[in-house]
Structure 1
């Protein structure tokens, strides 16, 4: 197989109706541009559960990805994309926008084994080699709000139980978001 650079990863087409609904729902749940300690705790548990270096609770909002929950083995709770450390990424970076678009879990044991994903900027800039993500579905509307995911700089051969576990964590986050919206948290 020959690598075709024109087949590099691009962000999925934006569904403007879903984007508007997603933003409205996230705002109703109190999600904005600030980290949420309870989501940082969930990310930390997910990172420990999988053994990955990073775990995130990621929302697609205002035309970008925002990590309201983030845990790292390497210290500060930020991801660096070359020049700017932080809790956000553009939609053409990483793999979460594809999980949001697909609405299903995405296990990539070695992202370099998939030409479509190997050309992503996070592979080159952060050295990411593995990804596992699951969608966060709004129980009220069914729209995908974001993802829970883990990444690492070494390939990890994901098992079926890993996919089941990350889906269970996604359900926990969804329940927490609903409780936030209902004023119970």
Structure 2
């Protein structure tokens, strides 16, 4: 018997092998199906998917054998990975000086062997797809082609498994970072709210106590401090709502009337400008996440109010149901949105250069939060708009039991 030599790039090959995390793993149906099919095509009792480790031959799939590893020194596959031919064949191992005294031959009667190297995308042979028989024989041309094709599929499975593992690791890392960001946003936002409230109160106190001593510019500075504090407070509130959408969307469902919901939204908005809001003609008894719907509608109707340059604001709200979904439509006669901005309005922090009717610029958080909530509630949202004429927002949410 002649022991198989090691490839010249053995350390690099082993590193490549270990990167797939396949050694010492449990049997998998995808690989077992290939070895079973290969044995049937080649008409042999044994078919294996092998991985050549430093000192052993690990059998990732073994059809016709009860064990899952053997010494590398006695393996046929140790010789096969050194051969750069498309297929390595030993028709009668008893007549081959490399194998005639091999325990696999003398004790297990492994006479015939055919193996195809499993070469990864970097060019390293990780192991083989091989077959054994207990008698001397040959393979037909079609059997050889099938064995080579099956080996190619095994490598594809290796690569797909590795790719999936990488994606899962990236997903876990992103989830961890997202949780850290949520925690950071929550802590910072809560810690900043009190100082901002103090700034607003202090500016009012200064105006009340020392207003007579201040000139117009001094009063403008106080107004600027107060308004900036309000703007930052709104920004922080928006961030908190955005990062808490998962909690909001997970709240239990309630039974409520669509008319009551919309009327509550209008009341909460405390509208003090000339505005006509047309409610849906039909009242629907709904069963959904009311808190999440309130947040969505507050944001959308609020935008219709803020981004409107008409003397009289007009907002039409429609609500309907069909099968397993509720559908909402909000149409206004506001400023409208540029076509090139429509595809980005739901991106976090995406803003246009348009100022609202009070001369303020948006923070790009509200619509991103709305889309996250709609998606979490099993629905979709879309926006159409004509610049200078108005905007229509349509969204759906799934009925909950």
TM-score category, normalised to shorter length: 0.7 to 0.9
* SS of 2:15 mapped into structure 1: helix
Show the counterpart of 1:9.
Answer: 2
1:46 aligns with 2:28: no
Show the counterpart of 2:26.
Answer: 35
Aligned with residue 110 of structure 1, among 87, 92, 109:
92
Show the counterpart of 1:81.
Answer: none
TM-score with structure 2 length normalisation?
A: 0.39
Show the counterpart of 1:89.
Answer: 70
Equivalent residue runs for 1:143-162 within 5 Å: 143-162=124-143
Higher relative CO (CA 8 A, sep ≥ 6), structure 1 or 2? 1
Name the larger-Rg structure: 2
- Structure 2: how far apart are the matches of 1:109 and 1:126? 16
- Structure 2: how far apart are the matches of 1:165 and 1:35? 26
Aligned length: 164
> RMSD of the alignment, in Å?
1.9
Show the counterpart of 1:174.
Answer: 155
CA deviation map 1:2-24 (0-9, x unaligned): xxxxxx22222x23x63332332
Q: Is the helix fraction higher in 1 or 2?
A: 2
CA deviation map 1:136-177 (0-9, x unaligned): 0011x1010000000011222222332222111110011111
CA deviation map 1:109-145 (0-9, x unaligned): 2222323322222001101111110100011x10100
TM-score with structure 1 length normalisation?
A: 0.80
- Give yes or no for contact 1:130–1:154 (8 Å, CA) kept in 2: yes
Show the counterpart of 2:79.
Answer: 98
Show the counterpart of 2:13.
Answer: 22
Aligned with residue 65 of structure 1, among 47, 57, 65:
57
- Give yes or no for contact 1:11–1:98 (8 Å, CA) kept in 2: yes
Show the counterpart of 1:163.
Answer: 144
Structure 1 segments (4+ residues) deviating >6 Å: none
CA deviation map 1:35-87 (0-9, x unaligned): 33121221111111111111000000132110001111xxxx42xxxxxxx21
Relative to structure 1, is the Cα distance of residues 106 and 45 closer, same or farther in structure 2, using a 3 angstrom cutoff? same
- Unaligned ranges ≥5, structure 1: 1-7, 79-85
- Structure 1: how far apart are the matches of 2:150 and 2:4? 25
- Give yes or no for contact 1:9–1:118 (8 Å, CA) kept in 2: no
